[in-house]
């Protein structure tokens, strides 16, 4: 039993030393967030077939106890800027690497943690942005999709776009250009994360045209005082 516990402790130390979000992107964290797709456990920087996270809803979990309210997000950091007009490119937030921006795939608020079984509890029907699986553009390189656990302050106010239902449709252009640094500035740095790489050379569901709407320069999150 002592040997087993030592292995578990060693594994935890290794996990804590590894980056749980992609190198070169800020905000970042080294604290692991467990993610499962059915019986498949996601390891940081693992490449998954697009069909798995697109058809199976993720299950977040953690052995670390969390005692407050939190937010769960999934953001694509690898949207190519060539989808956008020159005027739009000037307003884009930076994604991971040159010529890349972001897209919001999931934003779940009012998340609590069950310290007995490690699961997270939330009402998926009340998500600010319902979960939408990865849709990497056909022929593009693998995209980095990051699951984030952020704090949710008691005075958090959802952005106007979310309250207006602009994130409800998974294909909404309003989900482009999501600023994680802006969110971190308002609510605090991410607590934990995990990420996957997804590529599909022939993805019929991916966006292939330039968005026709004006894109925000950042989300508009407010904290009531």
- pLDDT (tens, 9 = 90+) of the chain, 225 residues, equals 433 333 333 344 344 456 799 999 999 999 999 999 999 999 999 999 999 999 999 999 999 999 999 999 999 999 999 889 999 999 999 999 999 999 999 999 999 999 999 999 999 999 999 999 999 988 899 999 999 999 999 999 999 999 999 999 999 999 999 999 999 999 999 999 999 999 976 755 555 444 444 444 445 444 432
Residues written for the chain: 225
- Cβ–Cβ < 8 Å for 134, 47: no
Distance between CA 211 and CA 140 in Å, rounded? 18
pTM: 0.84
Residue range 43-102, pLDDT digits in tens: 999 999 999 999 999 999 999 999 999 999 999 999 999 889 999 999 999 999 999 999
Domain 33-223 falls in which CATH fold? Phosphatidylethanolamine-binding Protein (3.90.280)
Distance between CA 185 and CA 172 in Å, rounded? 25
In degrees, to the nearest 5, what angle opens at C-alpha 57 toward C-alphas 158 and 47? Answer: 105
Half-sphere exposure of 164 (CA within 13 A, CB side): 8
- Cβ–Cβ < 8 Å for 22, 146: yes
**56, 109, 112, 158, 175 from 152: Cα distances, Å:** 26, 7, 10, 10, 20
Residue 102 parent element (H or E): strand 100-113
* Closest C-alpha to 80, from 105, 103, 109: 103
* Closest C-alpha to 167, from 157, 156, 178: 178
**45, 97, 199 from 143: Cα distances, Å:** 11, 11, 6
């Amino acid at each position: 039993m002592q040997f087993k516990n030592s292995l578990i402790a060693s594994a935890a130390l290794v996990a804590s030393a590894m980056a749980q979000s992609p190198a070169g992107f800020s905000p970042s964290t080294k604290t692991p967030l467990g993610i499962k797709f059915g019986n498949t456990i996601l390891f940081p920087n693992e490449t998954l077939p697009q069909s798995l996270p697109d058809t199976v809803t993720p299950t977040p979990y953690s052995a670390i106890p969390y005692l407050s309210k939190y937010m769960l997000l999934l953001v694509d950091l690898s949207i190519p800027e060539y989808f956008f007009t020159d005027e739009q490119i000037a307003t884009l937030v930076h994604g991971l690497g040159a010529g890349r921006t972001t897209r919001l795939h999931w934003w779940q608020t009012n998340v609590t943690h069950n310290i007995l079984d490690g699961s997270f509890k939330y009402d998926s029907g009340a998500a600010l942005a319902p979960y939408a699986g990865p849709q990497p553009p056909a022929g593009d390189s693998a995209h980095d999709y990051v699951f984030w656990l952020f704090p949710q302050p008691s005075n958090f106010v959802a952005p106007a776009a979310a309250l207006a239902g602009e994130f409800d449709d998974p294909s909404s252009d309003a989900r482009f250009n999501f600023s994680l640094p802006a969110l971190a500035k308002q609510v605090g740095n991410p607590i934990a994360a995990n990420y996957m790489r997804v590529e599909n050379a022939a993805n019929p569901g991916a966006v292939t045209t330039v968005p026709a709407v004006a894109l925000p320069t950042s989300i508009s999150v407010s904290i009531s005082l």
